[in-house]
Each structure stands twice: as C-alpha cells, then as structure tokens.
C-alpha cells in the first residue's frame, strides 16, 4: 500500500512539473506572439524599447527551453531582429550561437547566408564575407539564395555609384545589341 501511495505521489508530482513547464513555455510563446503582433501593427516605426523587449523574450525563451523545437526558430528571429536594429556584433553572436547550438536547424542554410551578409553589410569585413558566401555556395549550390550569394560575390565591395555605372553600361550594351 505504501509503495502504491509513493508511486501515486510521484506520478502526481511529475504531472504538476510537466504541466507547470508546459504552461510556462506556452506563456512565454504567447508573450512573444503578442509583442510580435504589436510591432507588426506599428509597421515602419516600431518603438526601440519594444524591439529590445522582443529580443529579450526570444533569448529568454531559448535559454529556458533550449531543446524545444521552436528555440532555433526564435534564435533565427533574434538574428534578423539584431540585423534590423543594425547591431552587427549581436547578429553575428547569435548566428554563431545558432551554428554551434543548432547545427541541424531547418534554417541552417539561411543562417550561413546571413553570416556572410552580416560580414559584408554590418561589419564591413569583405574578406570574411567573400569566404562565407563561397562556403555557402559550396554547401548549398542549389539553394534559393545561391543566386543572391553569387550576385553578392560579383558586387562585393563596390560602391552604389559603381553599381549604377555598371548597370547603365549593361543597359546601353543591351540596347545597342537590340538595335542592330
């Protein structure tokens, strides 16, 4: 009888723990969704405090639930949020964290591409950007972002003025070829 009572108590305690963990996880996820919706409603002028709050919510969720299937998704969203906030150092930290902690993430290819993009556009490290774009292309030659990676490599380090001149020159060549 005592053994059955102990087992029943353990089962009840286990259920309470599982329920409290699940409900905490759900509360955190709902808080994230609510804040994402608020920021979406603010469109082009989100409040910086709200952006920082969302970053904290993403990272707290990942810290509290690292094995949850949504943890790598929230980390990916945090990378994009850091990029949107023009915080290249934070974005790179989160990219590296994603690559190290979630190497089987369904967003792995996009994360590697973003790493190259961050090097190029937020950290101005063209050498590492070039290497990372090439790594991306060797790992994912048929990925939907492979054309973007190839274009980035062709235009790496060029000023907007150089790009406009090249575009105008190509347009002029095409017009001349069409006129013949």
Is residue 165 domain-resident?
Answer: yes
172: in domain: yes
Q: What is the CB-side half-sphere exposure of residue 155 using CA atoms within 13 A? A: 18
- Could you read off the pLDDT of 113-154 as tens digits, one per residue? 999 999 999 999 999 999 999 999 999 999 999 999 999 999
Whether 79 is covered by a domain: the verdict is yes
Q: How many domains does the chain have?
A: 1
19 within some domain: no
> Which among 92, 94, 109, 90 is positioned nearest to 148, based on CA atoms?
109
In a domain, 92, yes or no: yes
Q: Write the CATH number for 123.
A: 1.25.40.10
Q: Is residue 16 a part of any domain in this protein?
A: no
> What is the reported pTM?
0.78
**Residue 103 Cα to chain centre, angstroms:** 13
Answer whether residue 48 shows pLDDT above 60. yes
Domain enclosing residue 57, as ranges: 28-41+48-179
**20 in a domain, yes or no?**
no
Work out the number of other CB atoms within 10 angstroms of the CB of residue 95: 26
């Amino acid at each position: 009888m005592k053994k059955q009572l102990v087992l029943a108590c353990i089962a009840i305690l286990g259920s309470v723990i599982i329920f409290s963990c699940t409900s905490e996880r759900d509360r955190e996820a709902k808080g994230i969704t609510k804040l994402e919706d608020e920021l979406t409603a603010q469109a082009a002028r989100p409040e910086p405090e709200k952006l920082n709050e969302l970053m904290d919510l993403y990272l707290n969720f990942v810290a509290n639930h690292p094995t949850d299937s949504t943890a790598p998704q929230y980390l990916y969203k945090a990378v994009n949020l850091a990029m949107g906030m023009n915080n290249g150092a934070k974005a790179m930290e989160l990219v590296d964290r994603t690559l190290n902690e979630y190497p089987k993430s369904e967003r792995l290819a996009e994360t590697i591409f973003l790493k190259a993009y961050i090097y190029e556009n937020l950290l101005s490290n063209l050498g590492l950007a070039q290497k990372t774009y090439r790594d991306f292309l060797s790992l994912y030659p048929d990925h939907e972002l492979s054309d973007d990676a190839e274009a980035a490599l062709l235009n790496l380090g060029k000023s907007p003025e150089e790009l406009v001149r090249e575009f105008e020159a190509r347009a002029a060549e095409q017009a001349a070829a069409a006129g013949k």
